[in-house]
Amino acid sequence: MMAPHSEVENEENIVRLPAPEKPRMSESPPRLIIIGAGSRGNAYARALGEATNGICAAVVEPIAYKRQALGRAYIWGDDGQPADGQEFEDWQDFVAWEEARRAKQAAGKEVPEGVDGAFICVQDELHKSVILGLEKLNIHIMCEKPLATNLSDCIDIYKSLLPLDSSKAPGRLFSVGHVLRYSPHNMLLRKLLLEDKVIGDILSVNHTEPVGWWHFAHSYVRGNWRKESTSAPSLLTKSCHDIDVLLWLLSSPPPNSSLPRHLPSNVSSLGARQFFSKHRKPAAAKSATNCLSCPHEPDCMFSAKKIYVGNDLRGLGSGNTGWPVKIVVPDIEDYLATSGRTAGEEAILKELAADYDANTPADEISKKNWFGRCVWESDNDVCDDQVVTMTWDNDDNASAGDGRGPKIAQFHMVSFTAKI
Ligand SMILES: NC(=O)c1ccc[n+]([C@@H]2O[C@H](COP(=O)([O-])OP(=O)(O)OC[C@H]3O[C@@H](n4cnc5c(N)ncnc54)[C@H](O)[C@@H]3O)[C@@H](O)[C@H]2O)c1
């Protein structure tokens, strides 16, 4: 069941390239607002302090616990209180506040500092409304991937970002969180392939994305990204990074080149939900729909109890309180700090016990994550195995050595791997 390239022997021997050094702080460092204080919002807030010369200035998040936890950790400190303009429950409140602040400033009144840019870290389907909503503020934006969940939203976003005067360069930055482009090893790989040409022309690429069996169960069977109707296909929500990297390596010209992109001539894809479906449910699980009441649970590798509470993966028993444990119980650290380990475990088990049945309204089922749900009984419909083939024709206008000859790239997203 293992995909190729999914195992690395002697992982401790891997040489990891260092991240670029943190730049020196300027006299007026860029000030950023985090919109959505979930996993990614926290990752950017932390990275701002650790790796950039920017400041995490404000947070938008409807869930009070998450908002305050991010604020305490990265904005106003453990002993501080949020000042005016440092926390908002909804991005629309922030937009209204910022407009009022600018109006007061224009009238010569003293006002708190505003922000220069925003990290949009809300769920995929909200990206478009937040980007369009921030439009009038004309600030820099980094939006998490995927940009949007359908083509028409992408086009609306693109149009909204075009400068009014097309003869002028845009006055602000807009980027999408295709973070693989910024990992030191991928930056080095691109330099070696496109600038140093260490292996000459690229003719054929075989790229596998090993999602990891329990990561897939967490995010794409029980979690946020399990249904196309409420999220998007897994090729988009998970593998847009990989497709982006392939195009970055094979279509985008090297830095300082005047050549246009060399786009693929053909793209085809096949995929299916092959594994995580009811017909694979072991008979021993009988009619159980939740791990906590399942007779097969002790023998099931997908047991939610093992994944979130156990010692072997990244459950609480392994000492982990971050992802994925924190996704099930966001305030797990508070439970441990105030009431101890047993209370933390009980909080996770209580959440895992939540289940739905034939009487539960459909929208209640679809808007919530069900982390204790049997992986063979979930309402997931996204592909767990998918291949993409891209082919490039020769660019007849290019010169030999430009790397614009015919080539093929094969991509395989597979969930059944040990490595994540
Ligand atoms: N770049 C990557 O590698 C990577 C990895 C994982 C996820 N993502 C993407 O990042 C985004 C966020 O994912 P996540 O895992 O952090 O999700 P998450 O659910 O942990 O966080 C989203 C947060 O947005 C909040 N929110 C909801 N409505 C809001 C509103 N109106 N205003 C402000 N906040 C609001 C939610 O309460 C939640 O806390 C998604 O688009 C996801 O696809 C990117």
Task: Output the pLDDT for position 171.
Answer: 86
The predicted model gives 93-98 an average pLDDT of 98
Decide: 34 and 46 in contact? Cβ < 8 Å: no
pLDDT band of 108, cuts 50, 70, 90: very high
The answer to whether residues 348 and 299 belong to one domain is yes
Q: Where are the beta strands (DSSP E) in 104-203?
A: 117-120, 140-143, 174-176
The answer to whether residues 143 and 286 belong to one domain is no
The whole-angstrom separation of Cα 225 and Cα 397 is 42
- Position 310 pLDDT exceeds 80: yes
d(CA 88, ligand 1 centre) in Å: 16
Closest atom of ligand 1 relative to the 225 alpha carbon:
43
- Position 3 pLDDT exceeds 80: no
pLDDT band of 355, cuts 50, 70, 90: very high
Parent domain of 328: 278-367
* 285, part of any domain: yes
Domain boundary among 177, 197, 223: 177
Q: How many residues does the chain have?
A: 420
The predicted model gives 123-142 an average pLDDT of 97
* 210, part of any domain: yes
The answer to whether residues 233 and 313 belong to one domain is no
Average pLDDT, the chain: 94
- Position 220 pLDDT exceeds 90: yes
The answer to whether residues 247 and 285 belong to one domain is no
* 419, part of any domain: no
The answer to whether residues 125 and 255 belong to one domain is no
* 13, part of any domain: no
CATH number at residue 126: 3.40.50.720
- Position 371 pLDDT exceeds 50: yes
Decide: 194 and 403 in contact? Cβ < 8 Å: yes
* 11, part of any domain: no
The answer to whether residues 109 and 29 belong to one domain is yes
How many other C-beta atoms can be found within 10 angstroms of the C-beta atom of residue 227?
16
For residue range 358-368, list pLDDT tens digits in order: 999 999 999 89
- Position 1 pLDDT exceeds 50: no
* 54, part of any domain: yes
When computed from its CA atoms, the radius of gyration of the chain, rounded to whole angstroms, is 24
pLDDT band of 2, cuts 50, 70, 90: very low
d(CA 231, ligand 1 centre) in Å: 12
The answer to whether residues 169 and 55 belong to one domain is yes
The predicted model gives 226-238 an average pLDDT of 96
* 106, part of any domain: yes
- Position 5 pLDDT exceeds 60: no
d(CA 216, ligand 1 centre) in Å: 17
CA angle 216, 217, 220 (to 5 degrees): 60
The answer to whether residues 49 and 84 belong to one domain is yes
pLDDT band of 186, cuts 50, 70, 90: very high
Task: Output the pLDDT for position 9.
Answer: 59
CA angle 245, 230, 378 (to 5 degrees): 100
Least Cα distance to 245 among 159, 339, 179 occurs for 179
Task: Output the pLDDT for position 168.
Answer: 85
- Position 4 pLDDT exceeds 60: no
Which positions ≥6 away from 146 have C-beta within 8 Å? 124, 127, 176, 232, 236, 237, 240
pLDDT band of 17, cuts 50, 70, 90: confident
Alpha carbon distances (Å) from 274 to 32, 156, 224: 42, 34, 19
The answer to whether residues 387 and 266 belong to one domain is yes
d(CA 58, ligand 1 centre) in Å: 16
The predicted model gives 287-303 an average pLDDT of 98
Alpha carbon distances (Å) from 258 to 139, 245, 335, 403, 404: 29, 20, 57, 14, 13
CATH number at residue 200: 3.30.360.10
As for ligand 1, residues whose beta carbon falls within 6 Å of it are 35-41, 60-63, 66, 90-91, 121-124, 126, 144-145, 177, 179, 237
Decide which of 19 and 71 is more confident. Answer: 71
For residue range 201-212, list pLDDT tens digits in order: 999 999 999 999
Tokens of 229: 């109707």
Decide which of 169 and 52 is more confident. Answer: 52
Q: How many domains does the chain have?
A: 3
The answer to whether residues 307 and 333 belong to one domain is yes
CA angle 278, 281, 287 (to 5 degrees): 90
The answer to whether residues 393 and 254 belong to one domain is yes
* 5, part of any domain: no
The answer to whether residues 116 and 263 belong to one domain is no
- Position 34 pLDDT exceeds 80: yes
- Say what percent of the chain tops pLDDT 90: 90
pLDDT band of 7, cuts 50, 70, 90: low
Cα torsion 158, 164, 168, 174: sign: negative
Residue with CA at minimum distance from ligand 1 atom 7: 40
The predicted model gives 295-304 an average pLDDT of 98
For residue range 149-176, list pLDDT tens digits in order: 999 999 999 999 988 888 888 889 999 9
d(CA 321, ligand 1 centre) in Å: 18
